[in-house]
Structure 1
Amino acid sequence: MADVVSFRKEEPTGLVRVERAEPILRITLNNPPANALSIAVMEALGEALDAVAADDAIRVVVLASTGKVFSAGHDLKEMTAHREDADDGRAFFERTMRMAAEIMLKIAALPQPVVAEIDGLATAAGCQLVASCDLAICTDTSTFCTPGVNIGLFCSTPMVAVTRAAHPKQAMEMLLTGETIDASTAKDFGLVNRIVPQQYLRQVVDKYAAVIAAKSPQALRIGKAAFRAQAGLPVAEAYDVAVAAMVDNMLADDAKEGIGAFLGKRMPEWDRK
């Protein structure tokens, strides 16, 4: 595996902390103890995702958090306060849910792969955030749930991401019971890729990200977009998407270089633009 990257540049601490060590960007939710996805947190996270989308120097994004909870989902206190609004909170609830949906869509549309780094509980919209990332690595003590049903609120928006990451019946089990599952079960369900001891989490994630960042930037961009586009399509339409992506990829400079390097038995030199 590639060497662990050294993060040296960091923006001032806020609700969302951004560190960069090109070609990897680390975005950390910094709203302990729950890392709740308040309006302010989602605004900051959305801004960070928008910035990296246009940053050609970044190849991989890591999404992490501080404290013992990855994210407890939406800020219920913030939402409850708006029940006193003239419309009983409808406009604020719509804004909150729509903003969360836009965050998940930004992650999907981001040209760079996004790796979730989870240490602790990921619940409701926090679980949605994990499921929306391209890959997820968690500690062996991490837990996951969609517990809305326990408080009279079915996790309908987390459902969209969770049902696309986990098997439908397993996703429905989470949604209907609201029960918390451990890291091993989350891996079996398909929510996470790997489980590691807590003391090695950062090291493993950084090495994982470095391995991906060393691949062709053009192939990563084309591949992620094609993967997202074909998912859920009928098989014939999925192949139409895949064929178009392969043709575009074959015409890209990196494919010419990579194939030439393979045939010439040398290491490829990727176009970093």
Structure 2
Amino acid sequence: MSAPNPDDDQAYVLRSDCAGVTTLTLNRPQQFNSLSQAMIAALQGQLDDLAGDPQVRVVVIAGAGKAFCAGHDLKEMRANRNKAFMRQLFGQCARMMMTLTRIPQPVIARVHGIATAAGCQLVSMCDLAVAADVARFATSGINVGLFCATPAVGLSRNLGRKQALEMLFTGDFIDAQTAQEQGLVNRVVAGAALDDEIARLSAALIGKSPLAITMGKQMFYKQLEMGLEAAYQYAGEVMACNMMSEDAGEGIDAFVGKRQPVWQGR
């Protein structure tokens, strides 16, 4: 008879909803919220469920316990040391990370503690990030002989090339202020003010047209992969379509009439 698994019957990701904001909390605090296959699958399932929910306007990714996310589950990886498992794991994780950019709602990382390796990748793949002043970030795989190749994808799209490579080559931590200066997070506040700051940012997003936010998010990530001329052509088409929407007409009329707009939804 096998020993009981401490993760059995655990809700890997906790969901809470309040006034248009859905918070998904990584819930393996004893393992520093490491991204096991089950954790990734649970987060993927939650993201898929809320993507089609028009009542959800903002998604917040948080972590239970002391850490935000310490990356992949190294014990699980060592216990399944074969290439097929590794390909499946990293493919599963990549799909989840890309889903963060593909769902219509803005996604905010709530970083209260360390975010290392794939945890740092998770921060980089969220649309926005708010960090406590005690939070720290690292791509520390290099310290155990493993270059953080998949975290490098998100990191290199947030930081400058030399800043990203310094993190990837050294595995050294950077503090929250440095992360903000280098573009990994948007805002840094005292830990006690973290939830209030996220509430303020969420309220600002909820106050905008959901259609414009959805169209804008999709456009932003798609144009990043284009050449300059193609990006302008695509952006111009998106803006023309956006301008023909009811929300754009309502927004302009409200501005001219000096009143609050009433948005139609996405």
Distance 1:46 1:270 in 2: 29
Q: What SS class does the counterpart of residue 80 from structure 2 fall into? A: helix
Distance 2:196 2:177 in 1: 20
Q: Does residue 1:117 correspond to 2:110, yes or no?
A: yes
Cα offset for 1:13?
7.2
Structure 2 unmatched runs, 5+: 1-8
1:26 is aligned to 23
Give the 5 Å matches for 1:45-64.
45-64=43-62
Cα offset for 1:230?
1.0
Give the 5 Å matches for 1:1-273.
14-33=11-30, 34-83=32-81, 89-273=82-266
Contact 1:57 1:272 in 2 (8 A): no
Distance 2:224 2:15 in 1: 30
**1:169-199: per-residue Cα shift (whole Å, max 9, x none)?**
1111111111111111111111000000001
Distance 2:162 2:230 in 1: 25
Distance 2:70 2:83 in 1: 22
Structure 1 unmatched runs, 5+: 1-11, 84-88
Alignment-mate amino acid for residue 20 of structure 2: P
Cα offset for 1:146?
0.4
Superposition TM-score, scaled by structure 1 size: 0.92
Cα offset for 1:249?
0.6
Distance 1:161 1:59 in 2: 24
Distance 2:101 2:228 in 1: 21
Q: What SS class does the counterpart of residue 267 from structure 1 fall into? A: coil
**1:24-71: per-residue Cα shift (whole Å, max 9, x none)?**
111110111310000110010000000110101111111111111100
Contact 1:145 1:174 in 2 (8 A): yes
Alignment-mate amino acid for residue 44 of structure 1: A
Distance 2:80 2:226 in 1: 39
Number of positions where the alignment pairs a residue of Structure 1 with one of Structure 2: 257
Cα offset for 1:207?
1.9
Distance 2:29 2:231 in 1: 41
CA RMSD, 1 decimal: 1.2
Distance 1:255 1:155 in 2: 43
**1:214-251: per-residue Cα shift (whole Å, max 9, x none)?**
11000100111111111142211111121011011101
Q: What SS class does the counterpart of residue 71 from structure 1 fall into? A: coil
Contact 1:183 1:195 in 2 (8 A): yes
Alignment-mate amino acid for residue 15 of structure 1: Y
Structure 1 runs of 4+ with >4 Å offset: none
Alignment-mate amino acid for residue 161 of structure 1: G
**1:101-134: per-residue Cα shift (whole Å, max 9, x none)?**
0011100101000000001100000000000000
* Identity score, percent: 45
Distance 1:140 1:222 in 2: 33
Contact 1:147 1:175 in 2 (8 A): yes
Alignment-mate amino acid for residue 117 of structure 2: A
Alignment-mate amino acid for residue 21 of structure 2: I
Distance 2:21 2:200 in 1: 11
